[in-house]
């Protein structure tokens, strides 16, 4: 699709206070003419800054007032030091119209916006896609092939140009599309090959594991069979021992009963010994009180007789009676009056209190005597209880002793240790049977587990066998891919060879059209690696020391040759100072070549107001395609552009 510049607007950019350029919407040459210092190169810088945020071109001026890195126009800065710099470019791409806007204020980063016109409105596009949009219009890597300075065009052949030129030509001619296709097919082939290789390895490993499990399973089954036989033999042996044990079962029971009797007799003897010690301790600590028990009981009875006769009245608290008299209160709690019967009774009680209280110690002695008598009675009860237990134990021991002697008599003829040996043998057999059964269960689990895993591996192997059949198709696919890559490489080789041949022939043709001493050169061509090979007539060497003018002619010829390539067909060209440093004859040749330089696109040429360029423009360019750079009379340090 055709790419056309529809509008370029500069606001406060370098020498331009306010400029709005609207080229005619058709391919052709657009010439911008002006004296030095007016900003021809900076116009190209404005385009590069808007699209790539770059300023690749140097102004060939000595005016220090403008020759600095500041973007902001000097006149705009005098008005406001924070004035905004803006560059807008409207680009038509097929039926769509895009607007690229980059803005920046001093001390701040620039900001890019890309808009798409829909109807009468402009809509912002997704910021994450800006780079792809710019690359589809004017690729950054190819910028120097469509925006270039004529005075530096010879630098196309500076050190390392071969790799750069080769990369640019291949991008323009879409060789990279073929390279990506070849690379993509190679990756697909590698992936398919890895899949096939991996599938074979996956099949090998489970098959090996399955074989190992089958062998292990057979061994486990053999071992399981032997264990079953061993269990049967042990059960037979256990049966024989149990039959033999029945013969001696009665002796075993007697032996156990004898052991039980021995333990019980021993326990009774221990208890009797303890009872004896307790009786001795009780007698030792209480014998004196035991002898006085009768005396204590007589004294207690005498005191109780005195109590019952009233000779020992209960003690009365004199303080309590005095308080009642002082408060005129009866013992029952009612109020009384002095001189009343109740009041006089309280006074009589108070008079007899002291005599009654003197008999109180006798009552206290009675309490202590009663306690002693109770302790003696407790001792006698405890003594009687222990004695009865001891008598009971002794009777029990006599019975146990008789049973023990009888059992001992019965066990005289029993073979010594026979019962214990038979029983131990049976216990050992039982343990062996348990251990073997445990091993049998473990082996059974292993057999079941292995059979399940073998079944799982069978399924995996069957699936992998199916995949192998699929791999046969994959192998065919690999062969087809390899054949396709081979064909693409052949096509690529033919295309790259043709491009290099066409480029070499066009460079040679345009160089001879432009250069004044065309007969001096025999061969002008590019090598496989895009190194320019030039041989003068009568020379065996391809190394030629070119002058600056010759390099410029070579550069222009190269750009013209590249312009013939299809990938470069629709991109506009911005050409700064194409006649600089060229001899008159070459200048004439360049001017003659310009109308045919790129007939299918817009070509913007920026040049000094040389008489040759002015005559050429007025004679060969449409009037509305000519623009003049002049001083802006409204702003002393700015430039404006006038469309003729």
Q: Would you give the DSSP letter of residue 329?
A: B
pLDDT attached to residue 415: 56
Percentage of residues in the chain with pLDDT exceeding 90? 16
Alpha-carbon distances of 191 from 144, 462, 468, 608, rounded to whole Å: 39, 23, 15, 60
Q: Mind listing the pLDDT tens digit for each residue in 618-631? A: 888 888 899 999 99
More confident residue, 385 or 175: 385
Rounded CA-CA distance 253/607 in Å is 134
pLDDT attached to residue 470: 67
613 pLDDT above the threshold of 70: yes
Sign of the alpha-carbon torsion through 179, 500, 562, 597: negative
More confident residue, 60 or 218: 218
63 pLDDT above the threshold of 50: no
* E runs forming strands in 596-643: 602-608, 626-631, 639-643
453 pLDDT above the threshold of 80: yes
Q: Mind listing the pLDDT tens digit for each residue in 104-128? A: 999 899 999 999 999 999 999 998 8
On whether the CB atoms of residues 88 and 7 are closer than 8 A, the answer is yes
Rounded CA-CA distance 430/423 in Å is 11
Rounded CA-CA distance 105/2 in Å is 34
Q: pLDDT band for position 97 (50/70/90)?
A: very high
H-helix or E-strand spanning residue 351? helix 341-357
Does the predicted model carry a pTM greater than 0.75?
no
Query: Average pLDDT for residues 163-192, to the nearest whole number?
Result: 74
Q: Structure tokens of 94?
A: 């097929």
Collapsing DSSP states into helix, strand and coil, what is residue 416? coil
- Which pairs from 245-252 meet CB under 8 Å and 24+ separation? 245/419, 245/422, 245/423, 245/426, 248/414, 248/418, 248/419, 248/422, 251/411, 251/414, 251/418, 251/419, 252/419, 252/423
Query: Average pLDDT for residues 16-41, to the nearest whole number?
Result: 90
257 pLDDT above the threshold of 60: yes
Percentage of residues in the chain with pLDDT exceeding 70? 78
Environment class of residue 531 by beta-carbon count within 10 Å: exposed (0-12), middle (13-18) or buried (19+)?
A: middle
Name the strands in the sheet holding 147-149, side by side, starting at the edge strand that comes first in the sequence: 121-124, 111-118, 96-104, 85-93, 3-13, 16-21, 639-643, 626-631, 28-34, 602-608, 573-576, 147-149
More confident residue, 119 or 326: 119
On whether the CB atoms of residues 573 and 146 are closer than 8 A, the answer is yes
Q: What count of Cα atoms within 13 Å lies in the side-chain half-sphere of residue 449?
A: 8
H-helix or E-strand spanning residue 29? strand 28-34
431 pLDDT above the threshold of 90: no
pLDDT attached to residue 61: 45
- What is the b/e burial string over 198-221, where b = at least 16 CB atoms within 10 angstroms of the residue's CB? ebeeebeebeeebeebeeebeebe
Start-to-end Cα distance in the chain: 29
Rounded CA-CA distance 443/219 in Å is 10
Look at 318-327, 365-374, 559-568 and tell me which has the smallest mean pLDDT.
559-568
Q: How far does CA 32 lie from the centroid of its chain?
A: 59
Angle at 475 between CA 469 and CA 477, to 5 degrees: 115
484 pLDDT above the threshold of 60: yes
Return the CATH class of domain 3-161+567-643: alpha beta
pLDDT attached to residue 141: 72
Query: Average pLDDT for residues 341-350, to the nearest whole number?
Result: 76
Angle at 44 between CA 38 and CA 48, to 5 degrees: 140
pLDDT attached to residue 306: 63
pLDDT attached to residue 64: 42
Q: Structure tokens of 596?
A: 């045919």
Query: Average pLDDT for residues 540-564, to the nearest whole number?
Result: 70
Q: pLDDT band for position 539 (50/70/90)?
A: confident
Q: pLDDT band for position 73 (50/70/90)?
A: very high
Look at 180-189, 219-228, 338-347, 468-477 and tell me which has the smallest mean pLDDT.
468-477
pLDDT attached to residue 66: 47
- Which pairs from 240-243 meet CB under 8 Å and 24+ separation? 241/422, 241/425, 241/426, 241/429, 242/426
Q: pLDDT band for position 262 (50/70/90)?
A: confident
Q: pLDDT band for position 518 (50/70/90)?
A: low
Query: Average pLDDT for residues 499-507, to the nearest whole number?
Result: 80
Most confidently modeled of 11-20, 194-203, 635-644?
Answer: 11-20
More confident residue, 169 or 640: 640
545 pLDDT above the threshold of 70: no
Rounded CA-CA distance 40/149 in Å is 10
Angle at 415 between CA 409 and CA 420, to 5 degrees: 105
Question: Can you give the residue ranges of every domain in the chain?
Answer: 3-161+567-643, 250-312+365-412, 313-358
Rounded CA-CA distance 13/396 in Å is 130
Q: pLDDT band for position 62 (50/70/90)?
A: very low
568 pLDDT above the threshold of 60: no
Q: pLDDT band for position 364 (50/70/90)?
A: low
pLDDT attached to residue 377: 76
Residues with Cβ within 8 Å of 218's Cβ and at least 6 positions away in sequence, in order, are none
Q: pLDDT band for position 196 (50/70/90)?
A: low
Rounded CA-CA distance 633/59 in Å is 22
200 pLDDT above the threshold of 60: no
Mean pLDDT, all residues of the chain: 79
137 pLDDT above the threshold of 50: yes
pLDDT attached to residue 530: 76
Rounded CA-CA distance 203/149 in Å is 65
180 pLDDT above the threshold of 80: no
Q: Cα torsion for 408, 410, 416, 420, to the nearest 10°?
A: -90
Instruction: Work out the angle between the directed axes of helices 611-620 and 584-597 (0-180°, nearest 10).
Output: 30
500 pLDDT above the threshold of 60: yes
Query: Average pLDDT for residues 628-636, to the nearest whole number?
Result: 91
**Which one, of 452, 449, 446, lies nearest residue 227 by Cα?**
446
- What is the b/e burial string over 336-362, where b = at least 16 CB atoms within 10 angstroms of the residue's CB? beeeeebbeebeebbeebeeeeeeeee
Sign of the alpha-carbon torsion through 203, 205, 206, 209: positive
Rounded CA-CA distance 69/56 in Å is 11
Query: Phi and psi (nearest 5°) for 313?
Result: -70, 160
524 has which bridge partners?
Answer: 534
Q: pLDDT band for position 253 (50/70/90)?
A: confident
More confident residue, 126 or 524: 126
Q: Structure tokens of 430?
A: 């039982």
Q: Structure tokens of 141?
A: 């890597």
More confident residue, 100 or 280: 100
Q: Mind listing the pLDDT tens digit for each residue in 266-325? A: 888 888 888 788 878 777 777 666 666 677 677 767 766 666 665 555 555 566 777 777
Angle at 497 between CA 495 and CA 499, to 5 degrees: 65
């Amino acid at each position: 699709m055709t790419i056309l510049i529809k509008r370029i607007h500069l606001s406060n950019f370098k020498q331009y206070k306010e400029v709005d350029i609207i080229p005619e919407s058709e391919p052709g040459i657009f010439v911008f003419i002006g004296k030095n210092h007016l900003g021809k190169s900076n116009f190209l810088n404005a385009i590069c800054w808007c699209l790539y945020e770059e300023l690749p071109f140097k102004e060939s001026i000595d005016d220090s007032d403008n020759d600095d890195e500041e973007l902001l126009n000097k006149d705009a800065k005098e008005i406001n030091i924070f004035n905004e710099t803006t560059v807008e470019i409207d680009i038509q791409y097929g039926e769509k119209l895009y607007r690229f806007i980059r803005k920046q204020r001093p001390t701040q980063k620039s900001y890019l916006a890309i808009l798409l016109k829909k109807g009468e409105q402009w809509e912002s596009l997704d910021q994450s896609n800006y780079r792809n949009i710019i690359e589809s219009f004017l690729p950054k890597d190819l910028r120097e092939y469509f925006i270039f300075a004529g005075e530096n065009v010879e630098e196309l052949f500076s050190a390392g140009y071969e790799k750069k030129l080769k990369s640019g030509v291949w991008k323009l001619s879409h060789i990279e599309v073929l390279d990506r296709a070849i690379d993509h097919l190679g990756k697909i082939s590698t992936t398919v090959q890895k899949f096939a290789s991996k599938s074979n390895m996956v099949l090998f490993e489970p098959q090996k594991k399955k074989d190992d499990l089958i062998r292990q399973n057979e061994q486990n089954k053999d071992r399981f069979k032997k264990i079953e036989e061993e269990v049967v033999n042990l059960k037979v042996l256990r049966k024989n021992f149990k039959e033999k044990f029945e013969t001696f079962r009665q002796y075993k029971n007697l032996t156990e009963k004898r052991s039980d009797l021995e333990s019980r007799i021993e326990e009774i003897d221990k208890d009797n010994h303890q009872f004896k010690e307790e009786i001795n301790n009780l007698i030792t600590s209480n014998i004196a009180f035991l002898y006085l028990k009768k005396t204590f009981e007589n004294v207690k009875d005498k005191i109780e007789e005195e109590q019952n006769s009233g000779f020992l009245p209960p003690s009365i608290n004199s303080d309590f009676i005095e308080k009642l008299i002082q408060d005129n209160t009866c013992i029952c709690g009612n109020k009384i009056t002095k001189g009343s019967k109740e009041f006089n009774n309280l006074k009589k009680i108070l008079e007899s209190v002291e005599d009654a209280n003197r008999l109180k110690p006798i009552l206290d002695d009675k309490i202590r005597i009663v306690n002693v008598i109770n302790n003696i009675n407790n001792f006698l009860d405890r003594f009687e209880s222990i004695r009865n237990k001891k008598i009971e134990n002794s009777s029990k021991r006599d019975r146990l002793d008789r049973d023990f002697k009888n059992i001992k008599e019965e066990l005289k003829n029993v073979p010594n240790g026979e019962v214990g040996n038979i029983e131990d043998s049976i216990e050992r057999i039982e343990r062996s049977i348990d251990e073997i059964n445990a091993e049998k269960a473990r082996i059974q689990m292993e057999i079941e587990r292995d059979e399940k895993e073998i079944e799982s591996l069978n399924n995996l192997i069957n699936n992998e066998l199916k995949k192998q059949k699929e791999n046969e198709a994959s192998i065919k696919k690999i062969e087809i891919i390899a054949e396709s890559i081979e064909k693409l490489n052949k096509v690529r080789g033919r295309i790259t060879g043709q491009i290099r041949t066409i480029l070499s022939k066009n460079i040679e043709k345009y160089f001879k059209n432009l250069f004044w001493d065309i007969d001096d050169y025999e061969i002008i061509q590019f090598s496989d690696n895009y190194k320019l090979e030039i041989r003068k007539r009568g020379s065996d060497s391809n190394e030629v020391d070119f002058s600056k003018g010759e390099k410029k002619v070579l550069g222009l010829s190269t750009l013209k040759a590249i312009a013939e390539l299809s990938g470069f067909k629709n991109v506009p060209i911005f050409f700064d100072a194409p006649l600089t440093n060229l001899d008159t004859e070459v200048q004439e040749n360049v001017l003659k070549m310009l109308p045919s330089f790129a007939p299918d696109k817009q070509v913007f040429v920026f040049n000094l107001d040389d008489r040759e360029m002015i005559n050429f423009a007025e004679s060969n360019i449409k009037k509305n395609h000519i623009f003049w750079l002049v001083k802006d009379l409204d702003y002393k340090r700015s430039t404006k552009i006038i469309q003729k």
